[in-house]
Amino acid sequence: MSNDSNINSRPLIGIIGFGAFGRLTARHLLPHFRLYAYDPALRPGPCVEMLDVMLTDLRSAASCPIIILAVPVNRFEESVAAISPHLKPGSLVLDVGSVKMIPAEIMRRGLPEHVAIIATHPLFGPQSARDGINGLKIAICPIRGDRGRRVAAFLRKALGLNVVMTTPEAHDQDTAMAQGLTHLIAKVLVQMEPFPARMTTKSFDLLVQAIAMVRDDAPEVFQAIERSNPYSQRVRRRFFDLASALDAELGNRSPVRLSADRSSVKFDTSQTKQTD
């Protein structure tokens, strides 16, 4: 553990779930807080990667004044039920999931009235945050209590984040397109690799960079974005309908027809043949 004489005076945060995003959260909070972390896959004791993070049991992590739920959406309800008996009056519970309406309702329904609740979504991940988080966006959705502005002020001043105050409904409406389409397109384009490396345009290079930011996300992230956001299906359906309509239009008008294996090009002159 750190020998910093001031460490014991720092507020204590418990992180429930210590995967990739739980660890990213810990790295940026360590200068400001003492951290407990609980993950059923990890044994209690000092974290090997971050010695100032103490891996502990669920009760100890959930008894902290501030608790951050960094668990997948498909484990969210059971995690809320597990921490609920251990929460102290006046504590603050936050989540960091990619969707907000479902987690917000689960927390509102499943957590005791004596705790404050804020639903958050850091609009970045380990890949996009590898060079730091200053200037990156985070959505804040106050659910219960009046601590939203205080949390937002800390995130702006201490971590340099661009805070977007919103509601769970407005968040999910916007991210169904802003995040859902990004992951959807990336999922398709990865299947088309290998990409060209020499003969590329700037726009294509930026597209490849965007794919790189999300391609290593856990499968649970993609499933949450596409299945747990109630607005994603509508956006996805519209995208595929428009793509299908464009494909049909190009098929009807184009004089060039690509073979199925993309290894050759066949020219169809039936639409361009001149009459006598």
How confident is the model over 60-70, as pLDDT tens digits?
999 999 999 99
Q: For residue 230, how many other CB atoms are within 10 A of its CB? A: 14
Residues 6 or more apart whose CB falls under 8 angstroms from that of 189 comprise: 207, 211
Domain formed by 7-166, architecture: 3-Layer(aba) Sandwich (3.40)
- Provide the residue ranges of all domains of the chain, joining segments of one domain with +: 7-166, 177-247
Average pLDDT, the chain: 90
Whether 244 shows a pLDDT value over 50: the answer reads yes
pLDDT digits (tens, 9 = 90+) for 134-186: 999 999 999 999 999 999 999 999 999 999 999 999 999 999 999 999 999 99
pTM of the model: 0.84
> β-pairing, 116-122 with 92-95?
parallel
Question: From CA 229, how far away is CA 139, in angstroms rounded?
Answer: 15
Alpha carbons 13 and 65: distance in angstroms, whole number: 6
Residue 212 structure tokens: 């790189």
